[in-house]
Amino acid sequence: MNTSKNISISSIPKSAWKPGRMRVPILLAAYSLVFVLASFTALALRFDWDIPAEFLQRWWRSIAWILVLKLSLLGLFGQFRSLLTFFSFPDAKLIFNTLALAAGVQLLLWFATGGEAMLPRGVIVVDFILSFFGVAVLRSGMRIFRERFLSRTSQRAVRRRVAIIGAGEVGASLARDIQAKPGLGMEAVCFIDDDPSKIGLCLHGLQVFGDRLAMPTILKRLEISKCILAMPRAHPSVITESVALLNEAGIEHDILPSVDCILNRGVTVNHLRHVSPEDLLGRAPVRLDEDAITHLLQDQVVLVTGAGGSIGRELSLQIAAHSPAKLILLERGEPALFEIEQEIQREFPSLHVEAIAASVCDEHRLEAVFAAHKPHLVFHAAAHKHVPLMEKQPGEAIWNNSFGTLFCAQTATRHGCQKFVLVSTDKAVNPANVMGASKRIAELLIGEIQNSSGNQTCFSAVRFGNVLDSSGSVVPIFRRQIAVGGPVTVTHPDAERFFMSIPEAVGLILQSAAFSEGGEIFVLDMGMPVKIRELARQMIELHGFVPDRDIPIVFTGLRPGEKLVETTTHETEGVASGPHPKIRKLVPTILKTDLIQALEETRWRIHFSTPDEIHQWILDHVADASAMTFSMPTLGASKSGLPIAGIPELSRKESA
């Protein structure tokens, strides 16, 4: 029984329904005064301030209905519902159009009556101009009064002197937002820009200095305590150079988000954030064909495996934004599944979402899911990806990454899915560890199924490098190490990896799926590889510390299964032009290995065999896995390293 007190509508004071009750009378009085003065001034100008008695009488007879006309039109277009002290370009545009309409009505009446008892046409036109400027000045003055005098917080707070790096449209919008919100405790002092045509000019009352290389001197002279990078289209090298200069000067700095975010949400101080490693990547963000992706996903039933992981989560969010008929989230981790389901339901409340707790290694559960939901598209992101962890338990890596892919792919084929996209990794190229080998096996498996008789599903794989800020990547590890004062651990001074942001990786997956015809492996042109040592140094600097002085960098040595450098293509793969300038399409050589049959023969023995046996099986069946090492301890085996009694050895094929 509901014990809460019932509140009747009649008990609410009428004043509660009319917030800002004095706003309308104030606007009526102010606008009326402006319109009367504008009309009289227009008439006086027409006759050089010597108004004939006849036209003065016409003015007295006309001013009442002119006021009613203008005020009625302003009310009709919602001008009296606006806040008094807030005024911007959309408000000015609305007032201009409304007063132009009022002037048009007056001119129509003049032509209809032949001008009898009407004010001259020139007076009507000048009255329109003066009325617009009068109202604009009035509302602007109210806004300035609010910004400069009504913010008590700004009078009490110590305002930090801020320089904006980038005197473009984004920087100008940011400066205007800072000036409009003195309560933020920031004072925009100047702009800094490299464009010679802007240096020395003023923007929103702020002088533009240059160039960026002179920043330390400029900032010291102007006593700047904080800088904001407002260059969303700048190359990452420019951001990196600017951050280095600011760190050298000891100046705190923030950055505005990407161009896409700005286009969708506008430029405000609320969008400021700290500079992240993504901002320092050595390439510009990839622009994708959104129309093709929408055509792929719209009104389709889409299944994402591993939906709770870093890639799976972003996949689910980007797919949801393209209006699928149904989105199926398959994830075996219940907390992660719950979180992504809640996020999608919050962001896309009208989307049909099915959250399914299941493992890709459970064939019967997969069969039930596919039979119930009949997905058109499958994005297979479920995988174990931690190299050292999987090196210690290779059976689990093969079971989840290889068998899981096989079970999903076979089920998709049986149920007539249109497309199946495997999320792969550059570690599958000449794999030196079990995780990479398990993903290479997955690539070979979908290639074999693609070329099998009777297959109607289009299979493809997307291969990319390390993903910044994903779970288990070096970025969150470095961040935690910096937070506790170090040291930051790097495996080797020369270790380097390809990096991309999570949204970029997912964009590549979706773009590739849109143009896949079956049997391809797509790879993003990820630019130059990044040295892990340099990434560690940049992250230390981003946190305001000096590498090796405040936070030491310690080299721990390569772990088993790790390589100094990664590559993205096999020697046997032909490279063709892709569907996008930044995407390469690899055409793998068809290998008649009967890998599915060989894998099936190991199904019931994979978890009971020694790591050395599993390593050897991989070498026997994956021709390019010769770089693998066998130095990890044996788990799930007897102390002698032999198979456990009663469990047959893994079936092996003779090495070619």
Q: Which residue, 218, 548, 202, is CA-closest to 210?
A: 218
**Integer CA distances (angstroms), 330 to 127, 359, 369, 471, 573, in order:** 67, 8, 9, 18, 32
Q: Which of 70, 226, 419, 427 is catalytic?
A: 427
Query: What span, in angstroms and rounded, lies between the C-alpha atoms of 382 and 369?
Result: 16
Q: Which amino acid is at 75?
A: G
* Dihedral (Cα; 199, 203, 206, 208), 10-degree rounding: -10
The β-bridge relationship of strands 301-305 and 326-331 is parallel
**Known catalytic residue: 592?**
no
Query: What span, in angstroms and rounded, lies between the C-alpha atoms of 572 and 6?
Result: 76
Query: What span, in angstroms and rounded, lies between the C-alpha atoms of 198 and 341?
Result: 49
Residues 6+ apart with CB under 8 A from 85: 142, 143, 145, 146, 150
Query: What span, in angstroms and rounded, lies between the C-alpha atoms of 146 and 180?
Result: 9
Instruction: Kindly state the DSSP code that residue 398 receives in the 8-state scheme.
Output: I
Helices 23-46, 121-145: axis angle to 10 degrees equals 140
Tell me the backbone φ, ψ of residue 328, rounded to 5 degrees: -105, 120
Query: What span, in angstroms and rounded, lies between the C-alpha atoms of 304 and 319?
Result: 9
Query: What span, in angstroms and rounded, lies between the C-alpha atoms of 226 and 187?
Result: 10
Reading the block at residue 116, the tokens are 């009898």
Q: Point out the residues that are catalytic.
A: 427
